Structure 1
Amino acid sequence: MAGFLQANMHSSEEANDLLYQIVCEKNIDLLIISEQYRDRDSPTWFSDNLGTAAIWIRNSRGIPVEDHGSGDGCVWIKSKGVTYVSCYLTPNESIQDFQEKLDLLEDTLQVAEGRKGTAGDLNARAVELGMPKKDPQGRRILEMAARRGLLVMNTGKTSTIRRAGNVGTIRDITLASEEVAPLMVNWKVLEDYIGSDH
């Protein structure tokens, strides 16, 4: 079974330096990255148009890339009938700009045939995402997920951000179609030091 890692680098050079070590130790085949530090020089590194989201295939034999594409805030690859999407929706934009990027993500998921999974730092709050309350971004993400038939894979209430003032904050979300959801076993937030506050 393939190993997957969702990582938020928070644009950290230290997190970037530790990334290779972590993927080797954890035997990771595919990484979905938000707030990358910089692109890696690899034919199996795919980045969005803004340099904020990336997918890194570490095992191209097990996960051969059949197709790929990118937009502002999201990048996708297709392998063995599954479309994987990495996205980053910044909290520093207006709700209109947020919606434009969310629409692009939804269009990407709509066009993708078959099974799909998406992950990233969505910077949204919703009870269904493990947060105590909902914000407009969270409502919009949940509505999009419902339209695209995606399930929230996050389990538990472990925070995905470790910084003062963000206790219990879960901004990094994993979504999967009903066909992919049963294949995502042992979803958890790693407690390892990764050089990022996510």
Structure 2
Amino acid sequence: MGTHDPVAALRAALARTGGETSDHDLNPDFPRLPGRVLRPAAVLVAVKRGPAGLHVVLTKRSSRLRHHPGQIAFPGGKLDAGDAGPVAAALREAQEEIALPPENVEILGLLPCHETVTGFTVTPVLGVLRGPFTPVPEAGEVEEIFDVPFTHLVQPGNFRVQARRWRGDWRFYYTVPFGPYYIWGATARILRALADRVAP
């Protein structure tokens, strides 16, 4: 990553230019609803240090959920009225979903927003854990908490573009599989944007 300090490399990546992303990036002809109002949301891209290097914390959503069951996601969700902003929302959601104490996260900065096809504008909040924590999945919402080596997620060559039928049309999306975990959609697109910033 061009430096002996991987966290310094993350800070450098945040300083590089890069525009907002969207689920529509690979589907420019897919119609968008006129007059749509995007709802603000935030996710925490939590990076933890380890003997083998940095890892990114991810969750597998419960298969019993109505929306996006079983999908791989960052901890996060929509901004509540009481949230001071995306950082506060991301930290609150991470505490609720995986029992990550907010004080255990050093915020490095924000990545450009990502627009989802479901009508959210998501702010990815990049943070590094100050120390270890015991992850506890939120009952009913999170099925599993796991982490993926950062080196796997910042190699553009590990990403693929795939397609599936959605509402009668083919939609294309990024994937970055890791072992048994099929990472795709908005999560993969946000990671791809980070990979593009980190890659030399």
Give the TM-score range, shorter chain: under 0.3
Of the two structures, which has the highest relative contact order with CA contacts closer than 8 Å and spacing of 6 or more? 2
What is the TM-score of this pair, normalised by structure 2?
0.27
- Could you say which structure has the higher strand fraction? 2
What is the TM-score of this pair, normalised by structure 1?
0.27
